[in-house]
């Protein structure tokens, strides 16, 4: 396989990461653990724009505290992170659509309120309330958290919707990094550990 085709294979894949030393990463993973018990619970997801496995370099599109931006993938390939890339079985037009939507979202602000609402929603779910009720009313795509960003890009760019364990669609505003991870595993996406 040529170097170029190996790089193209990762286009529009999803990067999952968890930082062992970052308190925010720990808090996000803890919040998701309230819902599901898993061995690996990612705290952040991003869309791979390019990745060269031989050089361990490339770029991702991500929603972080700086807003939606393109960043070097190397910031998540270190001893401090446990990172995987999940390669979905998508066509070239779907991959191009996902990356095109990621580019269109560039510059959008980070969803601080969305993250707070998500945690309140999770706690409410633990108390017996229906999950997603609050997030559907308050979260809008003006400001995005990482999993919401991935959900919108996959939905609009590839007409791909993430599902839960029962096969129900999950709205982008209700998605968590763990939901996307579980979908990748359930759907048989190729998982490649990168750190």
**Euclidean distance between CA atoms 58 and 50, whole angstroms:** 5
| Phi, psi of 128, deg, nearest 5 | 105, 0
pLDDT in tens, 42-99: 889 999 999 988 888 899 999 998 899 999 999 998 877 889 999 999 999 999 999 9
Residues of the chain with pLDDT under 50: none
Report the number of distinct structural domains present in the chain: 1
Which residues form the domain of 181? 3-193
**Euclidean distance between CA atoms 105 and 144, whole angstroms:** 9
**What is the bridge-based pairing of β-strands 57-64 and 109-110?**
unpaired
CA separation (Å) from 169 to 10, 54, 166, 176? Answer: 25, 36, 9, 13
Written as six digits, the tokens of 138 are: 């308050």
**What is the bridge-based pairing of β-strands 67-72 and 143-144?**
unpaired
Domain CATH for 71: 3.90.1720
């Amino acid at each position: 396989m040529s170097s170029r085709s190996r790089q193209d294979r990762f286009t529009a894949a999803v990067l999952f990461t968890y930082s062992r030393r970052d308190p925010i990463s720990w808090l996000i993973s803890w919040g998701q653990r309230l819902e599901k018990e898993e061995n690996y619970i990612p705290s952040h997801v991003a869309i791979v724009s390019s990745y060269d496995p031989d050089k361990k370099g490339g770029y991702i599109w991500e929603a972080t505290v700086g807003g939606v931006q393109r960043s070097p993938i190397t910031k998540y390939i270190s001893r401090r992170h446990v990172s995987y890339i999940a390669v979905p079985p998508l066509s070239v037009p779907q991959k191009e659509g996902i990356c095109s939507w990621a580019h269109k979202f560039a510059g959008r602000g980070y969803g601080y309120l969305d993250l707070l609402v998500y945690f309140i929603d999770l706690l409410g779910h633990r108390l017996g309330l229906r999950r997603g009720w609050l997030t559907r009313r308050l979260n809008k795509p003006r400001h995005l958290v990482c999993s919401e960003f991935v959900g919108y890009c996959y939905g609009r760019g590839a007409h791909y919707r993430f599902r839960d364990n029962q096969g129900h669609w999950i709205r982008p505003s209700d998605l968590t990094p763990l939901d996307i991870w579980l979908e990748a595993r359930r759907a048989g996406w190729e998982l490649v550990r990168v750190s």
